Amino acid sequence: MKAISLEVSGDTARKELIRGMIMPPGRLLRAYLKEAKYEMARMLRTPAFAIPFLGLPALLYLLFGALIFSDAIRNDLQAGKFIFTAFAVFGVMGPGLFGFGMTVAIEREQGLLKLKRALPMPPAAYPIAKMFMAVMFALIVMATMIAALPLGHLKLTVGQALAVVVINVLGSLPFCAIGLFIGARTTSRSAAAFVNIIYQVMMHISGLFYPLPGFLRAIAPVWPTYHLQQLVFSAIGAPSQGKAVIHVIALTGVTAMLTALSVRRLARAG
């Protein structure tokens, strides 16, 4: 080997070295796609994760919307929209919060992230793959929710249904960011606790499932669930609070800020 390297001029050796470092754009894209594909595959192969998150929202919607509150909804269109929105938002929270919060914490602790940092994985491929997984899960959740609509005595126009799907699928991103933020900072055990606490808190005190008393109503805008709920309300013609643009800014802001903080942290410490 030495003999060979003596024969080539320094310049040729340098060129060869540089060639080994450059990734053609097609291959770079492939790296992102493979990461996303296998993240999705492993989550679908974990039934304990996939089934509750994919099936539960539509099932609960049917339980409450089509059975328990069936009469009330038939007489009150707004009540039907409220319940549908609640379970749609609830459905897109889980994959991001748990898929990021738990798995990032576990994978950090178990050294997988360290290996990926040592390997030439494109640095953004890891969070993007997880985000893709959460978005795909949100898409499946929304497809089941839309399929359940006729049984829930609620009629949406095609435009409204599409708007709800788009808003909720994109709306899963702030929950990814919160999950990532928790996962990047905690151990796997404490991540489970933190994710559950924030999940429960957002579900119960942001006005998602039931109207809030005065004080809690005043602070509801700190929760991303509140902003997402208002956006869905306005898309399906239910009474909503605040301006859509403010809700979008709030959700985008939370996503960008928490993602930036987490990516920085992961790059430094893994």
Contact assessment for residue 251 and residue 171, using Cβ atoms and an 8 Å cutoff: yes
CA 26/CA 221 separation, integer angstroms:
43
Instruction: Provide the minimum distance between the beta carbon of 74 and other proteins in the complex, in angstroms, as a whole number.
Output: 44
> In the chain, count of helices (H) and strands (E)?
14, 0
Q: How is residue 15 written in tokens? A: 């060129």
Stretch that binds other proteins, among 18-26, 61-69, 199-207, 235-243 (CB under 8 A): 18-26
Give the footprint of other proteins on residues 165-224 (CB under 8 A): none
Number of C-beta neighbours around residue 32 at 10 A: 16
Binds other proteins (CB under 8 A): choice among 31, 128, 156, 163: 31
Contact assessment for residue 122 and residue 141, using Cβ atoms and an 8 Å cutoff: no
Instruction: Provide the minimum distance between the beta carbon of 28 and other proteins in the complex, in angstroms, as a whole number.
Output: 9
- Tell me which H or E stretch contains 41: helix 25-44
Closer to other proteins by Cβ: residue 36 or 232: 36
Q: State yes or no: residue 41 binds other proteins (CB under 8 A).
A: yes
Q: How is residue 202 written in tokens? A: 């957002």
Stretch that binds other proteins, among 19-27, 177-185, 238-246, 249-257 (CB under 8 A): 19-27
Q: State yes or no: residue 159 binds other proteins (CB under 8 A).
A: no
Instruction: Determine what percent of the chain falls in helix, strand and coil, rounding each to the nearest 5.
Output: 80, 0, 20
The position carrying tokens 């409204």 is 160
Closer to other proteins by Cβ: residue 87 or 100: 100
Give the footprint of other proteins on residues 108-137 (CB under 8 A): 110-112, 114-115, 117-123
Instruction: Provide the minimum distance between the beta carbon of 11 and other proteins in the complex, in angstroms, as a whole number.
Output: 10
Terminal C-alpha separation, the chain: 36
Q: State yes or no: residue 263 binds other proteins (CB under 8 A).
A: no
Binds other proteins (CB under 8 A): choice among 55, 221, 242, 270: 270
Question: CA gyration radius for the chain?
Answer: 22
Q: Is 162 helix (H, G, I), strand (E, B) or coil?
A: helix
Binding site for other proteins (CB under 8 A): 1-2, 4-5, 10, 13-14, 17, 19-24, 27, 30-31, 33-35, 38, 41-42, 45-46, 110-112, 114-115, 117-123, 270
